[in-house]
Amino acid sequence: MKRILILYRELAGYFVECVNNLSSKRNITIDIIAYPVNSDAPFTFNFGPEINVFKRNDFDLNALLQMASYYEYDMIFCGGWGDKDYLQVVSRSRAKVKLLGFDNQWSGSIKQRLASMYARSAITPLFDVAFVPGPGQVVFAKHIGFKQTQIVTGAYCCDVNKFRAISKSQSDGVNKLYFVGRYAPEKFIAELTDAMAELLDEHSYNWELQCAGVGPLWNKRIERNGIIHKGFMQPDELAKWMNHGDAFILPSTFEPWGVAVHEFAAAGYPLILSDCVGARHAFLEEGKNGYLFKCGNKAEMKKKMKVLFNSDSTQIKKMGDNSREFSLRITQQTWADSLYDLIK
C-alpha cells in the first residue's frame, strides 16, 4: 500500500473530501499533520479509515523529522512554505515525490518579486512538483523557478457530486442572491450590503441578499428588509440552504481561489465575481453563466447585480445550467488522479 505524508496548515472541508477520495479510491494510507481550524470557520470533519490526523502543536522539529522518517513515504505534500519546520522535513525526507501546494496568484508586486528571488534559491529546489489551483498560480510557480512540466493544476476542488445533487426550488416567491464568506474587509462584504440596500431603495426588485459567515465585521452588518444574515453554517446546513437560492456573488478584493465558487457553480447558480477571484478562470464565462466586475469597484459590482436582477427566469436558468456544466472542469477524481499519477 502506498503512503503519503501531508504537512498542512488549516484544513478545510473540500480538502478533506479530496483526501478521503484519494485514500479510498486508490487504496492509499495518508498521514496528516495540520494546524487547528480557524475560529471563524469551526468545521467538523470526518476522515476515512486509512487517514491518520495529528495536531501540529504536538510536534516540534525533532518529532516531525521522526514522523517523516518512520515510513517510506511515496509522497510528501507540503501546503505552503510558511512553516520553516515543514521545509526542514521536506529537505531531509527520502520521499519519492516532494510536492508543494500553494494558492498565491502572481500580481507582480515588489514584495512578490523579492519573495520569488528568495524562493528560487531556498524553497523551490526542495520540491519536485508544484500543485496549484489555476492559471494565476501557474504564473507564480514559474516566477519562483518551477518549469511548466513541474506544475500540476486543479489543486482545489469541492465535492462536485454533492453540490450537483442540489435541486433548487423557490419556496416563497422571492429571488435570492447568496454570499458565503468571512465578514472581513477583503471580502467586500460592507460594500456588497451597501450596494444591495441602494438597489432595493432605488427599484422594486423581487430580490433579497442572504449572507452566510462570521468574522470581524459581523457586528457592523446592515440589518434591514431584503438583507438577511445567516451566520456560520456547517457544510450540511449550507447544502440545505442552497436548495432555495437563485444566484451567487463573491466580490472579494483578495481571493486566491474561492472554492465556494465551485460549489455554487456545481449547484447550478449564476455567478457574479470580482476579477480578484482566482476561480473565475475555471468556472465563469462572462454572459454565459454570470458576470465579472473590476475588483474593488462598488459601482461596477452594483451594475452587474442590476443586470442580474433584470434577467428573467429563463435567462437565470440557462446561466445556472451552464454553471453546472463548467463545474465538471475540476472534480475530486481529477484531483486524486493528479496526485496518484505522480506516485503510481
- Coil, strand or helix: which one is 119? helix
Per-residue model confidence as pLDDT tens digits over 93-151: 999 999 999 999 999 999 999 999 999 999 999 999 999 999 999 999 999 999 999 99
Give me the pLDDT at residue 42, please: 63
- The CB-based long-range contact list for 86-89 (8 Å cut-off, 24+ gap) reads 86/7, 87/123, 87/126, 88/61, 88/64, 89/7, 89/61, 89/64, 89/65
Q: Please check the confidence at residue 272 and state whether its pLDDT lies above 90.
A: yes
Q: Please check the confidence at residue 254 and state whether its pLDDT lies above 70.
A: yes
Buried b vs exposed e over 244-281: b needs ≥16 C-beta within 10 Å? bbbbbbbbbeebbbbbbbbbbbbbbbbbbbbebbbbbb
Q: Domain extents for the chain? A: 2-159+330-343, 161-329
Give me the pLDDT at residue 169, please: 72
Mean pLDDT of 307-319: 96
Per-residue model confidence as pLDDT tens digits over 195-208: 999 999 999 899 99
- The CB-based long-range contact list for 332-335 (8 Å cut-off, 24+ gap) reads 332/17, 332/18, 332/21, 332/157, 332/159, 332/160, 332/161, 333/21, 333/25, 334/154, 334/157, 335/18, 335/21, 335/22, 335/154, 335/155, 335/157
Q: Please check the confidence at residue 158 and state whether its pLDDT lies above 70.
A: yes
- The pLDDT confidence band at residue 335, using thresholds 50, 70 and 90, is very high
Residue 316: all three cell numbers together = 437565470
Exposure of 319 in the CB half-sphere (CA atoms within 13 A): 24
Say yes or no: do domains 2-159+330-343 and 161-329 share a fold.
Answer: yes
Residue 189 CA to residue 304 CA, distance in Å, equals: 16
Pick the CATH number of 161-329 from 3.90.1150.10, 3.40.50.2000, 1.20.1250.20, 3.40.50.10470: 3.40.50.2000
Q: Please check the confidence at residue 168 and state whether its pLDDT lies above 90.
A: no
Give me the pLDDT at residue 171, please: 62
Mean pLDDT of 216-243: 94
Mean pLDDT of 151-161: 95
Integer angstrom CA distances of residue 307 from 119, 242, 269, 291: 44, 22, 15, 9
Residue 344 CA to residue 341 CA, distance in Å, equals: 5
Mean pLDDT of 48-52: 96
DSSP 8-state assignment for residue 305:
H
Residue 298: all three cell numbers together = 462598488
Mean pLDDT of 335-341: 96
Q: Please check the confidence at residue 304 and state whether its pLDDT lies above 80.
A: yes
Residue 41 CA to residue 234 CA, distance in Å, equals: 9
Give me the pLDDT at residue 173, please: 80
Give me the pLDDT at residue 41, please: 62
Phi and psi based region of residue 104 (left: phi greater than 0; alpha: psi -120 to 50; beta: remaining) = beta
Alpha helix stretches (DSSP H) within 123-176: 135-143, 160-164
Q: Please check the confidence at residue 181 and state whether its pLDDT lies above 80.
A: yes
Residues 6+ apart with CB under 8 A from 122: none
Give me the pLDDT at residue 327, please: 98
Give me the pLDDT at residue 130, please: 98
Whether 242 contacts 178, CB under 8 Å: yes
Mean pLDDT of 20-42: 88
Whether 288 contacts 323, CB under 8 Å: no
Give me the pLDDT at residue 37, please: 78
Cell 512538483 belongs to 129
Mean pLDDT of 292-318: 97
pTM of the shown model = 0.91
User: CATH fold of 2-159+330-343, please?
Assistant: Rossmann fold (3.40.50)
* Interior angle at CA 179, CA 328 and CA 333, nearest 5: 20
More confident residue, 173 or 186: 186
Residue 201: all three cell numbers together = 431603495
- In this structure, what is the dihedral angle of CA atoms 255, 261, 262, 267, given to the nearest 10 degrees? 170
For the chain, give the mean pLDDT. Answer: 95
Give me the pLDDT at residue 56, please: 97
Residue 282 CA to residue 261 CA, distance in Å, equals: 10
Residue 246 CA to residue 248 CA, distance in Å, equals: 7
Residue 232: all three cell numbers together = 456560520
